[in-house]
Chains A and B, each alone.
With several copies, the nearest count.
Chain A
């Protein structure tokens, strides 16, 4: 008995995997719902599909619903993040020309040292540095700003930020419209594969555990259909749990590669899913533990402190009141809904709904709703710790 068919918007990215898997592997059917996946060409398009009610839920950049709550961008429709879909998963890449200058200057492309990579980029890039990001309100933009600003290049003020849909990032780099980018996989790898770029850093070299995509719904829909939403959250949670099993990434790459989803060779998708990236057209490989995380370390828990961090970054740039922004932002990540939805499952839920972001350098056991739960490292590259005001 299918209770309902839910339309869900997504962008062709590796981190749409939990939604694609929930559908293809039957986790949605187990919850008596059908998921109808609608591919969109850009983030503004997905956001509008959701805001205007053309889809019930969406694969969404975590800062988008926060920005909407702060009155930035969007259509004024309040959105809620009822689950995180994935942590990490972005890559920063540079043009081959810039990469060559950085190599000449002695940079080793070790792919794990944000400080060294940032210093080399700042030293060797032309001014102003032209950076491509998929959307103004995105973890991509936040990571770049945090990183470059911490290293002495005040961003976004001193850089030229351009919005380029993920699938066009390689083209923009090739056309010389940008010097570098931060993008979700597989579009960084596609730039490498097409011979137009070299990868410089994974996103988690800047922030070890950033909430990358969320499952977003209209807040009024969340109020009206708590039961259906619970089914969707559980289906997606089971999909993420399946993705974390050792044998799953290979098969997930096959599912994602199909024409209605990413329509790219599975070999390219394997890179992000296994954390083994090819960083240059010469074929150099780098292994990145935790490159993208769908389940472990409570990856899908929507921490109010994550939303607050995002909200305060946005507030600082736009001059909004910090306390108001923190409050509004924190209310967007619905840990209450997530908890209620997962109560009937075997999910281990954290005892608190906010944490000091950046405080963990190593896997750490924390109190869970029943027993213990392990959280992974979530430190920032510069060691700063964010103390949330809300919880």
Chain B
């Protein structure tokens, strides 16, 4: 039920390492079209392609294969189906392109908010798959960079707040001033071989637990 499962290109071992050929999962119920898509992609580059014919097996296959890209062709999804597929494909971990023949339900916003990197209302046309996939990959990377940057910036801000909070707690608990509180945090961090932010977080958490 979960498809033909053929692999168009075997992983090459290069000097004991795997090749970096992109691995692609194509979800395409129409077997003939699937063949055409695989041929079209093969012409365009060196890919490791797995075709599955029904979306029901997607989550499992993704767990097993950890593909670099997922391409999903689906005639005219309902919102629930769309969200379920988007979730199963892991659109925050890899580029996911979704092709629908018709978008009767006006699901573009939902698809994009769910994180798919391309949402194409015209079905999966073999000759057009490659540029759409490339755009999806480029967009995914750009988005991923920004997400990383945002996460790291938040982490930095969070750490500073944690340190301030721990300082405040020490000032109250020990009756010391801000300098001394920080010195205490820093000394504890050095003694324990940890970062000041970690010690501060531990202190704040412990206080929360004791609270």
Contact = CB atoms under 8 A, between A and B. Distances in A.
A25 B144 CA distance: 9
Q: Is the interface of B mostly helix, strand, loop or mixed?
A: helix
A305 to B, nearest CB: 28
Contact of A251 (B15, B48, B153): B153
B152 A24 contact: yes
B19 interface: yes
B172 A250 contact: no
B151 to A, nearest CB: 8
Given A25-B145, A371-B80, A284 B211 contact: yes
Contacts of A247: 150-151, 154
Chain B residues touching A, range:
35 or more
Interface string B155-191: 1111001001100110011000000000000000000
Contacts of A346: 79, 109-110, 113
A116 B155 CA distance: 39
Contact of B18 (A3, A30, A371): A3
Interface residues of A, number: 38
A283 B66 CA distance: 48
Interface string A261-291: 0010011001000001000001111110000
A225 interface: yes
Interface in A193-238: 224-225, 227-228, 231
B79 A370 contact: yes
A287 B211 contact: yes
Contact of A1 (B22, B158, B207): B22
Interface of B: 14-15, 17-23, 48, 66, 68, 79-80, 109-110, 113, 141, 144-145, 148-158, 161, 164-165, 168-169, 172-173, 194-195, 207-208, 211
17 contacts: A1-B20, A1-B21, A3-B20, A25-B149, A26-B145, A225-B15, A231-B20, A247-B150, A251-B149, A251-B154, A254-B152, A254-B155, A255-B152, A267-B168, A284-B211, A286-B211, A370-B80
